[in-house]
Amino acid sequence: MVRLLAAIAAIGFCFAASLANAQSFPNRPIRLIVSFPPGGATDVIARTVGAPLGQRLGQNVVVDNRPGSNGNISAELAANAKPDGHTLLLGSDSLFGINPHLYSKMPVDLRKAFVPVTNLVTNLILLTVNPDKVAAKTLPEFVELARKANPPLFYASIGNGSQHHIAMEMLKRHAGINLTHVPYKGGGPAAIATVGGETLAMFGGGAVVPLVRSGKLRALAVSGAKRSSSFPDLPTVGEYYPGFMVTIWQGLFAPAGTPPDIVTKLRTEVQAVLKMPDIAQKLIDAGSGEPSLISVEEFSAMIANDYVRYGKIIQETGIKVDN
């Protein structure tokens, strides 16, 4: 009986401590580490969601842009932070699904270093070209132009190993064309380079949408399995090359060891923000994607499935990066 009472008391103590954690969190500003520089889709998501999240939690959410190595730099910073919920990582499928297959040495074991909080958005990317330097107005015209180009046309990506990089390498493989890859540190710099003519084409998300709408870039196709609601007249690449499909997700992660009650509180508050009609519309209008409200079990399964899927794609395309 004494042991039973002691066990009950211990359970009660743990429950009380857990409740106290959730009630006292956060007690200072939250640092949200972002893998890409300002101006791209990921940064837009962080700032669009971060501001109202801070209001709901009663503390500012400070966006900390740490670009480089397709997210490996930001992941290492976040993984080594104190696991108390005050440092979070905005991570993409490229970090969790692609990097482990590309880099011979990862700074951290992502599967052990983080716990998923919630998925944020899913998105398609647009194949775009510089309209002043590329005459092609359709994907078949662009493919024909690329076949004839000598030397090969330069294309931009948001970084080595990103979905934007992989999408163009997949297009090269499907269409039988040659293009030269020029990686940049984020969507903003890549889009600026393409508008300026340093590169002539790129797959892009939030960074290219306003440039397409203003006429500074021309969109030829979208990467997903279906057409975009924002650009319904654009065909999918898969309409010309069956089997081609690249989608993107962005999610929120906490360092391993973060108390479950704090993770649950963060998940609840973030998903409440994503349900706000004005927030959802801002993300869609910016081209950063549509809110994706799924369970943590579904999110975890999606991470695992992408790890397998991208591993196969990387093996088939032979993509390599310098470590």
Tell me the CB-side half-sphere exposure of residue 68, using CA atoms within 13 A: 11
- Give the pLDDT confidence score for residue 320 in this predicted structure: 78
Domain annotation for the chain: domains and CATH numbers: 29-124+248-317 (3.40.190.150), 128-239 (3.40.190.10)
User: What's the CA gap between 321 and 178, in Å, rounded?
Assistant: 18
Question: Is the Cα torsion angle 204, 208, 212, 217 positive or negative in sign?
Answer: negative
Residue 16: per-residue pLDDT: 47
For residue 298, give every residue at least 6 positions away whose Cβ sits within 8 Å of its Cβ, in sequence order, or none: 119
Strand 61-65 vs strand 179-183: parallel, antiparallel, or unpaired?
Answer: unpaired
Which residues, given as ranges, of the chain have pLDDT below 50?
14-18
Cis check for the bond before 151: say yes or no (omega within 30 of 0): yes
DSSP conformational letter for 235: P
